[in-house]
Amino acid sequence: MLDADFFRRWMTVTAAAVDREAERLTALDSPIGDADHGSNLQRGFGAVRAALDEEPPVTPGAVLTRSGRLLISTVGGASGPLYGTLLRRAGKALGDASEVSREQLTEALRTGVDAVRQLGGAAPGDKTMIDALVPAVDALGDSFTAARAAAEEGAVATIPLRARKGRASYLGERSIGHQDPGATSAALLIAGLAEASGTSGAGEASGE
């Protein structure tokens, strides 16, 4: 089972990954976006890490809802509302339980992803974060490792796509050939989940 410590570790690991990859995320954003994706997420997840360290929430749902609120308030552009919605809706779906199973987390994240799709109007194939998140959630039922691989594959698969949502969609055919920064950062989030599971004793095979 996954407790609040696991979820705090997930956010902390993700914040560290965003720190490491901030320049790459911004470089990916430069030709098809505002060239600020990395710096925006770095600021947001830094705020999440600091807040969770200062006053640790005691339930998985509370960790995610607080993280989501902070991302909405500190991340500029579209990324804040999208990532914030993902985590807040997932956190609300988990409720007040002190521990949750991987299956419960999977369904909560599915609820969050559905909310992001509704907010941004994006579907798989539109060259957005959805292209990493949907396959990741589908694969999470198998294992954290499978979810990580699916998210990374989904991000890479955005390279040949033409953007149909977001700022990149204004470029039309010129958006083809670039890996989507949102899908790339979403893959970092899922990779953080897999890394947290590897140090938590969370059971891959058992589904706990």
Range of the domain at 145: 2-198
> Does residue 208 belong to any structural domain of this protein?
no
Reply yes or no on whether the pLDDT at 192 is more than 70: yes
Give the model's confidence band at 205: pLDDT under 50 very low, under 70 low, under 90 confident, else very high: very low
Residue 206 located in a structural domain: no
Enumerate residues 6+ apart whose C-beta is below 8 A from 55: none
Q: Is residue 204 one of the residues assigned to a domain?
A: no
Residues 6+ away with beta carbon under 8 Å from 20: none
- Does any domain span residue 131? yes
Structural domain includes residue 109: yes
Using an 8 Å Cβ cutoff, are 185 and 37 in contact? yes
Q: How far is Cα of residue 191 from the mean position of the Cα atoms in its chain?
A: 9
Neighbours of 177 (CB within 10 A): 12
Domain contains 19 = yes
Report pLDDT digits (tens) over 124-154.
999 999 999 999 999 999 999 999 999 999 9
Q: Is residue 190 part of a domain?
A: yes
45 C-beta neighbours (distance < 10 Å), count: 29
For 148-190, what is each residue's pLDDT tens digit?
999 999 999 999 998 987 777 767 787 899 999 999 999 999 9
In total, how many domains does the chain have? 1
Lookup: tokens for 142: 């198998």
| CATH label of the domain that carries residue 117 | 1.25.40.340
pTM, entire model: 0.92
C-alpha 109/C-alpha 111 separation (Å) is 5
d(CA 140, CA 112): 14
Rounded to whole angstroms, how far apart are CA atoms 62 and 184?
26
Please say if the pLDDT value at position 199 is more than 60: no
Q: Residue 33's beta-bridge partner residues?
A: none
